[in-house]
Amino acid sequence: MSEAPDRTVTSSNAATRPRVRYVTNLREVDALDRAERSDLLPVAARYPFRANDYYLGLIDWSDPEDPIRRLVVPSLDELQQWGSLDASREATYTVAPGVQHKYRRTVVMLCTEMCGAFCRYCFRKRLFMDEADHDSLDLDTGLAYIAAHPEVSNVLLSGGDPLLMSTRRLEDILSRLAAIRHVRVVRIGTKMPAFNPWRVLDDAALRHALRRYSRPGRRVYVMAHFDHPRELTADARAGVAALMEAGAVVVNQCPIVRGVNDNGDTLGELFQRLTWSGVQPYYLFQCRPTAGNASFVVPLVEGFRTFCRARRQTSGLGRRARYCMSHASGKIAVVGLDRDHLYLRYHQAADPADEFRFMVFRRDDTAHWVDQLVPVAEGLRAPERDAADGAR
pLDDT tens column, 232-285 = 999 999 999 999 999 999 999 999 999 999 999 999 999 999 999 999 999 999
Strands 94-96 and 51-52, how do they pair? unpaired
pLDDT band for position 377 (cuts 50, 70, 90): confident
Report the percent of the chain where pLDDT is more than 90: 86
**Cα three-residue angle 342-348-352, rounded to 5 degrees:** 110
pTM: 0.91
pLDDT, tens digit (0-9, with 9 covering 90-100), for 287-335 = 999 999 999 999 999 999 999 999 999 999 889 999 999 999 999 999 9
Pairing label, strands 154-158, 106-110: parallel
Query: How do residues 132-152 score in pLDDT, each as one tens digit?
Result: 444 456 789 999 999 999 999
Residues of 141-176 as b/e, b for ≥16 C-beta within 10 angstroms?
ebbebbbebeebebbbbbbbbbbbbebeebbebbeb
Give the fold, CATH level 3, of 90-326: TIM Barrel (3.20.20)
- Lowest model confidence (mean pLDDT) among 156-160, 313-317, 351-355, 377-381: 377-381
* pLDDT of 388 above 60: no
What is the reported pLDDT for 385?
Answer: 52
Decide if pLDDT at 204 tops 90: yes
pLDDT at 102 over 60: yes
Q: How confident is the model at residue 338 (pLDDT cuts 50, 70, 90)?
A: very high
Residue 389 — very low, low, confident or very high, per pLDDT cuts 50/70/90? very low
Residues 162, 166, 169, 171, CA torsion sign = positive
In this structure, of 128-132, 144-148, 176-180, the range with the lowest mean pLDDT score is: 128-132
Query: For residue 392, what pLDDT is reported?
Result: 34
Rounded CA separation 390/77 (Å): 36
Residue 14 pLDDT greater than 70, yes or no? no
Query: Which pLDDT belongs to residue 7?
Result: 46
The domain segmentation of the chain, as residue ranges, is 21-79, 90-326
* Mean predicted confidence (pLDDT) in 87-97: 94
C-alpha to C-alpha distance for 188 and 370, rounded to whole angstroms = 28
The two beta strands, 185-189 and 94-96, are unpaired
Cα–Cα distance measured from residue 155 to residue 105, given in angstroms and rounded to the nearest whole number = 8
**pLDDT class for 378, splitting at 50, 70, 90?**
low
List alpha helices for 139-191, DSSP H.
139-147, 167-178
Would you say residue 383 has pLDDT above 90?
no
Please check the confidence at residue 371 and state whether its pLDDT lies above 80. Answer: yes
Q: What is the predicted pLDDT for the residue at 86? A: 94
Which of the residue ranges 88-102, 126-140, 158-172, 264-278 would you say has the lowest mean pLDDT?
Answer: 126-140
